[in-house]
Structure 1
Amino acid sequence: MHDGLPLFYAEPAMSIRHLDSMFAPRSVAVFGASDRPASVGATVWRNLRQGGFGGARWAVNPKHGQIAGEEAYADVASLPEAPELAVICTPAATVARLIEDLGARGTRAAVVLSAGMDEAMRRAMLEAAGRHMLRIIGPNGLGLLSPHAHLNASLAHTCAQPGDLALVSQSGSLMSAVLDWANGRGIGFSHCISLGEHVDVDLGDLLDWLASDARTRAILLYVESITSARKFMSAARAAARNKPVLVVKAGRSHDQAAALSHTGALAGSDLVYDAAIRRAGMLRVDTLEEFFTAVETLAHFHGQPIDQAAPWPAQLTLLSNGAGAGVLAADAAALAGVALAPLSEATLRALNVALPANWRHGNPVDIMGDAPVARYVLALKTLLGDPANGSVLLMHAPTAIVPSGEIAAALAPLGKLAPGRLLGCWLGDAAVQGARNTFRAAGIPCYDQPEEAVRAFSMLQTYRYNQQELLQTPAVQAARPAHDWTLSRALIDAVLSQGREMLSEPEAGQLLAGAGVPVVETRVVAPQADAAVEAARLIGYPVVLKVLSPQVSHKRDVGGVALGLASDEAVREAAGGMLRRVAELLPMAGVTGFTVQPMVQRPHALALVLGTRVDPVFGPVVLFGQGGSAVEVLADRAIALPPLNGPLALALIGRTRVARLLAGWRDVPAAKLDAVVAALEAISDLLAAEPRIAEIDINPLLADAQGVLALDARVRVSAAAPGGTAHFAILPYPSELVETFEWQGRQLTLRPVRPEDEAQHRAFLERLDPEDVRLRVFYSRRSIEHSELARLTQIDYGREMAFIATGPAAAGGDETLGVVRAVCDPDNLQAEFGIIVRSDLQGSGLGRRLMHKLISYLRARSVQRLVATVLVDNQRMLQLARELGFSVEAPDAGVRRISLELN
């Protein structure tokens, strides 16, 4: 039982306040209901009635006694009772008053369809709603549909069929288009919500609610903008762990404002959305066509749980009854970067028996246009029987030899032999419609064209990669050395005190070196040729000379960089030329000096760019890619949200073209990838430690078999402190909560759990006595899946906390002795907790120490209540609860509900 829940810790329901009243109300009132044709009120009232809503429904309009043959009411006060859901279609100026009256009477949710509300009207509406804890969808949207509840509280031109896909859209017109398309294909929905101006209920709220909605298997989002990044990311990551989340994000085209650095120019806002969607384990598609393809896939695709121990088959095998379809699919696969599986010797031998002698003996597999049903069955069974063949795309063009329906009927059962590995493509129209229906009924995704099928597979592939990134569990590694940020802060203090924002190149190098990024030796001299020559002699020729000026950001634009200077005369000439060019091109610029550096001779090194900027929505972001003087032309870059660890840094590198060069080619050895990863981690740590960093641009960062070396860097700071962990979209590990203490002669550490704890956590859980497990979670499990352990160790510190007590193990390393976990609801009102201590240590006081740590933490977060459900025979836990001040209630015979008011 409870197979979908994390081991040992029942996941509390993420009860978004009163959203149940929105989607499953017992009663609905339509304000502004009307008989006037084509009016908003008439449309909504008609949709509500025709949808078959089974609860009480009331039309409200003071000008009519009846509407569409049913009694109409004048106002809120005249209704028989408070409607659980109100749908408001009245003029904008009336909405705030209606919300006040509804809230006072007890209504808990409203869909506001009224358009034309100005800022003052919206503010008054929200204030009224807040006084009564009434939730609002809208205003100015299309409304919502919950087909399972027969609720159509919308302006949609059509109904929605019941199903298990939830659609949340910031565009009413797109929701209408999806409904129309889905009805034509028999695809149903659990809920369809048009957010309108989303002044109250937003994407984050709905993701939280839908994540725990039993009727929803997958969530589809149409996003135009996000206003609360951390809330959205927390909700999205939680939802994506439970079910697929698909995103269409409008606005790939944008005008990038002029930037002071390459990173600023390259890190466009849409790339940041890409990074956020990926980090949350969701899938982004680019067009409505792809959206519809992905909907088709999610509606019928039943893949296996994602587990790194059993990776999803990333390769594709093509099976067709003609060469043309196979060639088209192979071309599409090449364009999409989808690898075709090489056929093994065993597979080839089996196919040689099943197919005519003149088959092409490779992938794509062409079974010929004269193939009878038996040949199809043998070929498909052979390909699905070898996991090395990956997923199989079956393509069929109708022939006069065997009806397509017979072939589909024979093949559809084979999909159960390898769930999630079979896709279908039936080319044609009426002749293959029955075959398509047979495949869809069997849960096999089905497409009209080979190219569409390959695109769908590619999207599924991307989705699985994103999910693996979401669930990745880094191997245990030595902790990165703790940095003393005192000097870095003093450096930024000094720069800002001088009224500057741009650090000089030497200052930037000092800051990066302090963070752990290797930088080239740099000497700063006065703006005189003789001083530059003297520094060059001390360093040793050849050298690099650069102009130093607060007004010159891109030195190459004014000829302010000279490479490979091998003599005193060369340095003198270069220095004089720089001074003249700056005076001519930027007469207002002040040259404060020169920097002299050794000319780094690393012939096989690659030039990389590593940078950061502060996105207005998602906060600090990290950019990585191919660097050099043509960095903006090449535009080979990828973006990630901090914080970064090793696997996330590797994933960021892997999304660039330069990653293939870093692996080495011909006589060029592979670059030291660990050093590149360490540089990315160091920059992530620096962003967390210093909120005043607004922008970093390291270009070039040389990388080769020796490691990495930063040759040039720009850093911009701001007294407004736009960065730091306060502005991270994803909270980093809260190291400030780590503490050590003496306990029974042992030095123990009490700290938040971290992803690296998976193996240690598994060992802890496997040592627990089965009876202790039953007392905590009311059931026992024999196996511990990776996905469950990942859920326990990879937590969102913004809404969940797990403190573990660890100590030295007899066999070396650390072991976990106990854990306490709490999950806050999205409103931060209540947290549900679970605690378990290793069986041989119970009664030692360790559980009390863990509870005190958790209670103190939740109080600091202003959580109001801590609750848990405890079996009645778990007397030890009930006794501890009473000693800590919990109240104990008995809602059912076998359990007790305990709660503690925190604030």
Structure 2
Amino acid sequence: MSMRNLNHFFTPDSVAVIGASARPGSVGATVLANVAGGGFSGPIWPVNPKYGELAGLSAFGDAADLPRAPGLAVICTPAATVPGIVATLGELGCKAAVVLSAGLDAQAAGGRTLRQAMLDAARPHLLRILGPNCVGLLVPGRGLNASFAPVAALPGRLAFVAQSGALVTAVLDWARTRRIGFSCFVSLGDGSDVDFGDLLDYLAGDPGTDAILLYAESVRQARKFMSAARGAARAKPTVIVKAGRVAEAAHAAFSHTGALAGSDLVYDAALRRAGMLRVYSTDELFDAVAILAQPRRPAGPRLAILTNGGGPGVMATDALVAGGGTLAQLAPATLAHLSGHLPATWSHGNPVDVIGDAPVERYVMALRALLDEPGADAVLLIHAPTAIVPSADIARALLPLLRAAVRPVLCCWLGGASVAQARSLCLDAGVPVFDTPEEAVRGFLQLVDYARNQNMLMQVPPAGALAQPDRTAARTRVAGLLEAGTTAVGEADAKAILAAYGIPVVQTETARDLDGVLAAARRIGYPVALKILSPDIVHKTDVGGVVLDLADDAALAQAQDAMLARVRAALPQARLAGFTVQAMARRPRAHELIVGIATDPVFGPVVLFGQGGVAVEVTADQAVGLPPLNRVLAADLVSHTRAARLLAGFRDHPRADFEALSDVLVRVGQMAADLPELVELDINPLLADASGVVALDARMRLAPAPAGQDPLARLAILPYPDDLERRVDSALGPLLVRPIRPEDAPAHEAFFAALSPQDIHFRMFGTMRALSPAQLARFTQIDYAREMAFIATRTARDGRAETLGVVRVAIDPDGIVGEFAIIVRSDLHGRGLGHLLMDRLLDYCRARGLERVSGVALADNVGMHRLARSCGFQLRTAVDGNVEMVLALHG
């Protein structure tokens, strides 16, 4: 149900505590005391048949006896009573209940669990449930403490949502001692109804929340979570602690990929893709809030360090390099300028040590030089107190530079009371302040990670989509294999499927016996490689099942005979189906990589990339990405491995063809989306060098797709829906009406440039000359689960695709209402294009099950009014003078 009725949790007009008690130490007594003592201004109604009065408040014997439906109900009664209480509250008209009770996995009548009975009782009334088995929630700004937490939360502008009840109480205590305030503090508990996705959607639009903090142990509904997380991260800083980092999910699997793509790698990929910042402790969580509160973002990982002592500078450098950052290389002009103003004993490099006796003027000069340094993305100031110059004097002198800086500046004032005033001055100016060099560097690296993840949300891939794969050939072969009972797909069939997706493969043939092997080798041409073919042998090299560089018939025959003997001795029970014969790939400087697909139980198919070869588990150099991928996302996936440095070239090894490698990753992502039967894939090794890439070996595991299930249901992120493409005849000639893609960005930019100022004003409700990169990305990189944009496109005279009009709809998280907008190129008005696009959009909205579509137009946009009426919309003037357009799609 997503956001429906969530507002009742955060803005209730009354609170009922069901199970309230006078027994000291009980949950009912604690909750009632917290609600009554928190400053809540509305009515508070204790419910318990044992009491006529509790905490000076009139008590009610049953929820049915309440004077009216409570805005929020807090239930702290035994598990068996919860479904009945929820049913009663629903009948009253209550829309939000916090269920603190545990034990709802016990059986209820009819074979259901108590949890399911509770949800079934709530659903007809759209009553939302927080919990069960949770601590409750706090909304300090409204004086609401509907929890049994031992301390209250201070008011502020941070939202905190956690699954762990123990962590909730600990963080509340920790934050209170540090004077950290919250807009809301929510314990999810079991999350049977209200979950992370619901709350992210709500908090993204909450004007009282500046940043969202999450503590997550697991995610259940991956697509809902990803859509909500991406939306929230676009709106405001969103930081998450994901517990459970160890690789217990890694296991022996059919493929290397299945064993390597552990759960933490997958979560890491999901959080990066969502644009969130992942941290690893509660300390880091709140440090991250401080660092993200300042508006400047680094362009990269290069840090310049200014210090008045060598030791702290070395500590910061160690932490920076160990964390994956880079020590900025100072330009010769910067070094010359510093040498002209610093004592001869200065460090002559980065970190810049201005020496312990530095006066105020020396700090100002050095900081100004580093802020002008083109090779630095941020500056870290580390100051240890001295008796020569008060730290506060240095801070005051630096403040004008700190406020005017166009790149991030972080401060580390080492010490206690002697630097307290300097810290306060910087904090008041909005400059992040840290206690130690290591903490400051960690904050900088958090800023780098966050900026990188945000950039991924805004990156526009290069124009030119890849050629369409031969999906029919791939699906036919997969169906044939499953029909024959084959789930462990050998090299030849796997390569045929890869070739259907345009992935370069080495020529390979299969043979059952020596005659077939020799014939295949002659067709391919010597030299060749010979490999054993068996559904029971996962790693052929482990049993001597691979021989390379066979130059002629005699060598091949001898190798085949010896291979059979080795394999039969090592695995006598293995079923031998024959051999594969493959052309030798002569690429001595190529890198051995692995590319594969694994299926995660939560996020579905994922694409793995890393260093390959026989020692792939030992090198442990892998990264994971969620399909679908484009070239930008594929390049980012590669960059998260150590292999990226090798591929960039070194010594006499030239740079590998990154574009060809990115295309393979994109195509593998297409396979993951297109083939629901494909459970695992290994391409290992994939050779990559300056001349391109080629798959030497491949294997797959298939499983029948669940009957009746949407084949896209397993994907955490919906891919481009090519089934929605339509070719239509129009007054403008043949057109293609299709969903927008990220690759449409250049055409969309040209489309915007062709709009008249009046059309831009009508569409954007203001004046704009051009779209910013962030706006362009937002218009073309859409979440197909939550929104749709159809473009009308045709091929221009120069051969490029041109966009003629765009209609889009943003669907509310509940899937009930869509808000539309439309614009047609200014020189094409009156040609029927607007009506064509609107008809296509409304057909889509009906198919999605939306109840209504609405939009807003300026009062003088009479052309839009006319189009809306012709499509059946009802128009009325809103209080702000604009025109609201509403169309009911059902009923």
TM range (shorter): over 0.9
Say whether the 8 Å CA contact 1:688–1:725 is kept in structure 2.
yes
Which residue number in structure 2 is paired with residue 11 of structure 1? none
> How far off is 1:893 after superposition?
5.9
**Correspondence 1:461-610 to 2 at 5 A:** 461-477=448-464, 479-528=465-514, 530-610=515-595
Find out whether 1:402 has 2:389 as its counterpart: yes
Find out whether 1:144 has 2:137 as its counterpart: yes
Range that drifts further, 172-181 or 602-611: 172-181
| Residue of structure 1 aligned with 2:636, choices 651, 654, 664 | 651
Q: 2: CA distance between counterparts of 1:785 and 1:226?
A: 34
> How far off is 1:576 after superposition?
2.0
> How far off is 1:437 after superposition?
2.8
> How far off is 1:723 after superposition?
10
**Correspondence 1:174-213 to 2 at 5 A:** 174-213=167-206
> How far off is 1:412 after superposition?
3.5
Say whether the 8 Å CA contact 1:693–1:723 is kept in structure 2.
no
Q: Secondary structure at the match of 1:725?
A: coil
Q: 2: CA distance between counterparts of 1:25 and 1:69?
A: 21
| Residue of structure 2 aligned with 1:359, choices 346, 361, 364 | 346
Which residue number in structure 2 is paired with residue 662 of structure 1? 647
Task: Write out per-residue CA displacement over residues 59-98 of structure 1, whole angstroms, 9 at most, x where no aligned residue.
Answer: 2222222222222232333333221111111221222222
Aligned CA distance change for structure 1 residues 838 and 564 (closer, same or farther; 3 Å): closer
Q: Secondary structure at the match of 1:496?
A: helix
Aligned CA distance change for structure 1 residues 535 and 792 (closer, same or farther; 3 Å): closer
> How far off is 1:567 after superposition?
4.1
Query: TM-score, normalized by length of structure 1?
Result: 0.94
Aligned CA distance change for structure 1 residues 388 and 641 (closer, same or farther; 3 Å): same
Say whether the 8 Å CA contact 2:44–2:57 is kept in structure 1.
no
| Residue of structure 2 aligned with 1:162, choices 155, 161, 171 | 155
The residue type paired with residue 135 of structure 1 is R
Task: Write out per-residue CA displacement over residues 267-289 of structure 1, whole angstroms, 9 at most, x where no aligned residue.
Answer: 11111111111111111122344
> How many residues get paired?
881
Say whether the 8 Å CA contact 1:622–1:639 is kept in structure 2.
yes
**Correspondence 1:254-653 to 2 at 5 A:** 254-255=247-248, 256-298=250-292, 300-303=293-296, 312-352=299-339, 354-386=341-373, 388-418=375-405, 421-477=408-464, 479-528=465-514, 530-653=515-638
> How far off is 1:745 after superposition?
4.2
| Residue of structure 1 aligned with 2:127, choices 128, 131, 134 | 134
> How far off is 1:259 after superposition?
0.6
Aligned CA distance change for structure 1 residues 289 and 196 (closer, same or farther; 3 Å): same
The residue type paired with residue 224 of structure 2 is K
Task: Write out per-residue CA displacement over residues 591-610 of structure 1, whole angstroms, 9 at most, x where no aligned residue.
Answer: 22122223322211111111
Range that drifts further, 599-608 or 755-764: 755-764
The residue type paired with residue 44 of structure 2 is R
> How far off is 1:197 after superposition?
0.3
Task: Write out per-residue CA displacement over residues 806-853 of structure 1, whole angstroms, 9 at most, x where no aligned residue.
Answer: 234466623322211111111101111111223333333211111100
Range that drifts further, 569-578 or 644-653: 569-578
Q: 2: CA distance between counterparts of 1:599 and 1:349?
A: 56
**Is there any run of 5+ residues in structure 2 with no aligned partner, and where?**
107-112
The residue type paired with residue 637 of structure 2 is L
Say whether the 8 Å CA contact 2:732–2:831 is kept in structure 1.
no
Which residue number in structure 1 is paired with residue 668 of structure 2? 683
**Correspondence 1:863-874 to 2 at 5 A:** 863-874=850-861
| Higher RCO (Cα < 8 Å, 6 or more apart) | 1
Say whether the 8 Å CA contact 2:233–2:274 is kept in structure 1.
yes
| Residue of structure 2 aligned with 1:246, choices 203, 221, 239 | 239
> How far off is 1:39 after superposition?
1.5
Task: Write out per-residue CA displacement over residues 189-228 of structure 1, whole angstroms, 9 at most, x where no aligned residue.
Answer: 2211110000001011111111111122211111111111
Q: 1: CA distance between counterparts of 2:523 and 2:798?
A: 53
The residue type paired with residue 490 of structure 2 is S
Find out whether 1:727 has 2:721 as its counterpart: no
Say whether the 8 Å CA contact 2:371–2:407 is kept in structure 1.
no
> How far off is 1:618 after superposition?
0.7
> How far off is 1:121 after superposition?
1.3
Find out whether 1:693 has 2:711 as its counterpart: no
Find out whether 1:879 has 2:866 as its counterpart: yes
Q: Secondary structure at the match of 2:380?
A: strand
> How far off is 1:419 after superposition?
5.2
Aligned CA distance change for structure 1 residues 412 and 23 (closer, same or farther; 3 Å): farther
Which residue number in structure 1 is paired with residue 847 of structure 2? 860
Which residue number in structure 2 is paired with residue 846 of structure 1? 833
| Residue of structure 1 aligned with 2:809, choices 795, 810, 822 | 822
Range that drifts further, 672-681 or 231-240: 672-681
Q: Secondary structure at the match of 2:823?
A: strand
Aligned CA distance change for structure 1 residues 810 and 516 (closer, same or farther; 3 Å): closer
> How far off is 1:784 after superposition?
2.8
Say whether the 8 Å CA contact 2:726–2:737 is kept in structure 1.
yes
Range that drifts further, 437-446 or 867-876: 867-876
Aligned CA distance change for structure 1 residues 100 and 813 (closer, same or farther; 3 Å): same
Q: Secondary structure at the match of 1:73?
A: coil
> How far off is 1:699 after superposition?
0.9
Which residue number in structure 2 is paired with residue 704 of structure 1? 689
The residue type paired with residue 597 of structure 1 is Q
| Residue of structure 1 aligned with 2:114, choices 115, 121, 144 | 121
Q: Secondary structure at the match of 1:667?
A: coil
Task: Write out per-residue CA displacement over residues 268-317 of structure 1, whole angstroms, 9 at most, x where no aligned residue.
Answer: 1111111111111111122344334324423x43325xxxxxx7253111
The residue type paired with residue 280 of structure 1 is A
| Residue of structure 2 aligned with 1:794, choices 781, 786, 806 | 781
Say whether the 8 Å CA contact 1:313–1:387 is kept in structure 2.
no
Aligned CA distance change for structure 1 residues 584 and 347 (closer, same or farther; 3 Å): closer
**Is there any run of 5+ residues in structure 1 with no aligned partner, and where?**
1-13, 305-310
Range that drifts further, 708-717 or 719-728: 719-728
> How far off is 1:687 after superposition?
2.2
Percentage identity across aligned positions? 54
Which residue number in structure 2 is paired with residue 9 of structure 1? none
Task: Write out per-residue CA displacement over residues 784-806 of structure 1, whole angstroms, 9 at most, x where no aligned residue.
Answer: 32112211111101110111222
Q: Which runs of 4+ in 1 moved over 6 A?
A: none
Range that drifts further, 443-452 or 714-723: 714-723
> How far off is 1:402 after superposition?
2.9
| Residue of structure 2 aligned with 1:220, choices 213, 222, 230 | 213
Aligned CA distance change for structure 1 residues 487 and 628 (closer, same or farther; 3 Å): same
